Structure 1
């Protein structure tokens, strides 16, 4: 009886120390959305600046206009047209509770293209994000949807393809749905990193540990003697599939301490609301300074709704017993191919002398404020991932248009999840006209961004999701509308389009309206670059007047009129 109890307990511990089986998603329900074999340039969960990659990037043979097909029966439920992001995208709802998304498209199929154009003129907006009635565009598995392209945030021709749960729009890993993609390659582990967790992860540089291959899927490192009794680890790893040289992301990793599972992560079921938490999953400081991606094998205290699963801890390993701990990280892809890296670690009994960095201490899951005579900043409870000291200093500045001191807040190596509120008091009394044209500018190296301020008495306020140097500017210079390849009065009888761009002294503007002969006209603005109108039935032969109204972040507006003949 005692022996049976022990066996039951061991089985219970073993079950708790492992991931459950893979999600039971339908296999072979969805087809390849292209007519060529699947070849990935990016996979689900891949690490990107400020976000996880939320689908598959399917190669289109380095060209555009390949046919894109519906992956299964359903109906088109939504379309999106935007300058960045997805560019031109189609959403298809399926009766089994999933939604597929097809992005960076060129032309939709003719009936949908006509519907979109009519909708743009109805709303007087090129950008759309519209739901579509379920009975309007039903599709069958293999129905032609659109031509592949390179629109929006795409850097080269490809199809970005997603599968979501329709009920909550959580993105799921398409590689778990049985798509035909040969993969018998193991993930590769390039390096490990060790952190002293008596400190903030943002107030140290990790010890980078090289690993040596010892057979297929096996990596080892020498004993590491450490001066901290509490440590955590991170890793650099990548995956690929058979016949591909693309270095893609890994699906799963689990950290073991002396063969006991501590913590792991899986790349599945990530929502767009949570995708910025990538900055809590990686060593942001190392990456921001030009170093490699390091994926934490611990859960930072400010990472909410994380991709981690804790088996016996949060990933911080207690070495205070002075014994050698054999730490292993097992990395898998979605097809079960795995690799393991092992490093023995030991506390040397001599703790490092703590050095508290300068600045006010802030903590995740707490609201706190820094205050001075002319600068304040507020850090919300969901803004930081780890505790950290945030330094502040004030700089005098004498630049035309600048009406405050410069306030240096924090370091760009510290990521923020939510925006912090920055409040600055001008150095001089401003007229009502000047107050109405105040923006707050953030500077980091050569990068500058501005936000329109709100006023609370004599304090100007704006929200930012990065640290840097902040100051107030009076901007009374309107943007400029610049014609491309024509001048007012031009004869464009042989032209197929008309185009313009907009420039601004502070680099942030928007086009409020485009009119042809007093009626709204649809200009595209792919990738936020040039505004282009291709001549159609809205511009018959004859004399025409084009009016463009643009506005910058401070509220300065310009109205530019061009006359031309077709």
Structure 2
């Protein structure tokens, strides 16, 4: 970006630093850091592991929006400035006056703790340097800090590091952890194998990393990297701003997070290898675009990141990463083109051992089947009324590997000799950006147009004895929710307290909800996996900690469906109680000094299944 354009979009010295201005700062998070289901927007500024620091208005402005939320940003202020930009201050402990009374009065008017307000222009103003709030740990915060953003008039999040805050020092370069190469078509190989291979990087110089040995590749492949940034006196796992990939000196991929629209934050799940992240917790950033990536329609074909090598020559791959201050690092990799030399010798098998499908996994459009104790160099695959002979691709570590192109047909089952190895549950191919309605007996599925990041080979299974339905698995991300419905076989005696729950990896149940329509129930979900019905007939628990004239503090819990709502009354009048979900805590203080909490106190807590618990106390 040209210097004049840079200064125009990111005015220097216009904004004041919102925490301890003039002092060296420490950041726990930066713009573009890869977080769960979203890119991190803005900065996370340390507050000394405690709440209570004054938060200053970064410039003159009026309160455009203020919100109180149990989760997300918690207590948050949006301050609009004369230059058209908006600063955002989140996870606040409390607001300054007159904003605090403005929010409190409307909470009492609407009798709600959670509230989202849009004051009139210039109704509530702050001058640059005025204290607008006290820092805290509200909402989805994992510890006390201030989350600070700068947005433009179109709600694009801009990188605060580009606005010239002298409190921030960043001279450290990004660093590479691991690299992975994934095969993207049935004929591709990495070191003579199909699938995904990981490699450790080695630091060569302060700005250079490398892979120890050349990697043999053939066919269409994609590269993934674990790359992070370091910030002086701050996070050592921060996000990068720009990533570029060059093959033999030619740019084949780029990615920039200098700015992004707030609504685009969830596209992180198509940028990373989501399946690997859900299994291992490691976020590998893809250096190629998946089918459903929002940038794909606008990107030139030669900048998609796909690498195809069909010769036997050496190729240089350079992956470069920069942070917002243009500190850069490079990863150099030697790719050696090599025609596959598969090992086709089956491992010896004792006569009593039967072949067994050890694992099957989808890579893009290819189904990889790994078979133990295989006595044949082919499998018989059944798809509809057709059967296909699937030849052995190679043998690795006693496993015979067979590959099937899913575009030839959805497999129903696969057999080795006379042994049926597996019965699949593939039902439909759903391309990204397509709507679909699908029925399978008592199951139905409906998607909107934009729900998938990539082509989905839909798997559906209704286990009637267990009362479960399974839709693929949680390793596949969704952009938006899809609607599912089914008719349970077993009789449901209390539908008012029976809802759909999702089974987590640890077999715990997570409330999803649902609406009964006759004998069937439908529900919306943004996650795929296994679902079942469960009945919650146990009411929530209320455990008072302090109920006095000066303060009320109670803990609330629910065993299954979760807390839906709470309502407190004092002498027949609605009482504002603050909910801190991380501590399962409800608390209230006198609205005004000199007016103690006294009289008849009633607290009612309702869970998502409609179970109710109520306590009554007379406060003397």
- Provide TM-score, normalisation by structure 2: 0.79
Tell me which residue corresponds to 1:527: 581
Gap change, CA 1:380 and 1:342, over 3 Å in 2: farther
Alpha-carbon offset, residue 480 of structure 1? 2.5
Q: 1:303 aligns with which of 273, 293, 302?
A: 293
Q: Is the 8 A contact 2:606 2:613 kept in 1?
A: no
Distance in 2, matches of 1:452 and 1:213, equals 50
Distance in 1, matches of 2:446 and 2:313, equals 44
- Residue by residue over 1:446-473, the C-alpha shift from the partner in whole angstroms, topping out at 9 and shown as x without a partner, is 3322233224453311011112211223
Q: 1:458 aligns with which of 515, 519, 522?
A: 519
Distance in 1, matches of 2:36 and 2:72, equals 13
Alpha-carbon offset, residue 391 of structure 1? 3.0
Tell me which residue corresponds to 1:421: 483
Q: Is the 8 A contact 2:540 2:559 kept in 1?
A: no
User: What is the total number of aligned residue pairs between the two structures?
Assistant: 530
Tell whether 2:403 aligns with 1:354. yes
Distance in 1, matches of 2:54 and 2:195, equals 48
Tell me which residue corresponds to 1:545: 600
Alpha-carbon offset, residue 205 of structure 1? 5.3
Q: 1:395 aligns with which of 458, 463, 471?
A: 463
Secondary structure, counterpart of 1:419 in structure 2: strand
Q: 2:264 aligns with which of 271, 274, 278?
A: 274
Gap change, CA 1:65 and 1:533, over 3 Å in 2: same
Distance in 2, matches of 1:237 and 1:308, equals 25
Distance in 1, matches of 2:335 and 2:566, equals 61
Distance in 2, matches of 1:418 and 1:344, equals 39
Tell me which residue corresponds to 1:508: 562
Which runs of no fewer than 5 residues in structure 1 stay unpaired? 1-14, 399-404
Alpha-carbon offset, residue 43 of structure 1? 0.3
- Residue by residue over 1:516-540, the C-alpha shift from the partner in whole angstroms, topping out at 9 and shown as x without a partner, is 1211110000236211112344995
Distance in 1, matches of 2:39 and 2:72, equals 13
Q: 2:159 aligns with which of 162, 166, 173?
A: 173
Q: Is the 8 A contact 2:157 2:261 kept in 1?
A: yes
Gap change, CA 1:538 and 1:64, over 3 Å in 2: closer
- Residue by residue over 1:270-316, the C-alpha shift from the partner in whole angstroms, topping out at 9 and shown as x without a partner, is 23322111111111111111242100111111122589965832111
Secondary structure, counterpart of 2:403 in structure 1: coil
Gap change, CA 1:136 and 1:541, over 3 Å in 2: closer
Alpha-carbon offset, residue 99 of structure 1? 0.3
Distance in 2, matches of 1:527 and 1:173, equals 30
Distance in 1, matches of 2:430 and 2:324, equals 38
Gap change, CA 1:58 and 1:205, over 3 Å in 2: farther
Tell whether 2:280 aligns with 1:290. yes
Structure in which a larger fraction of residues adopt strand:
2
Tell whether 2:249 aligns with 1:188. no
Gap change, CA 1:385 and 1:541, over 3 Å in 2: closer
Distance in 2, matches of 1:372 and 1:411, equals 18
Q: 1:468 aligns with which of 508, 529, 533?
A: 529
- Residue by residue over 1:542-566, the C-alpha shift from the partner in whole angstroms, topping out at 9 and shown as x without a partner, is 8622233333323x24262402223
Which runs of no fewer than 5 residues in structure 2 stay unpaired? 189-193, 343-392, 394-401, 412-423
Tell whether 2:236 aligns with 1:246. yes
- Residue by residue over 1:55-74, the C-alpha shift from the partner in whole angstroms, topping out at 9 and shown as x without a partner, is 10011122221111111121
Q: Is the 8 A contact 1:185 1:337 kept in 2?
A: yes
Relative contact order, higher structure (CA 8 A, sep 6+): 1
Q: Is the 8 A contact 1:195 1:232 kept in 2?
A: yes
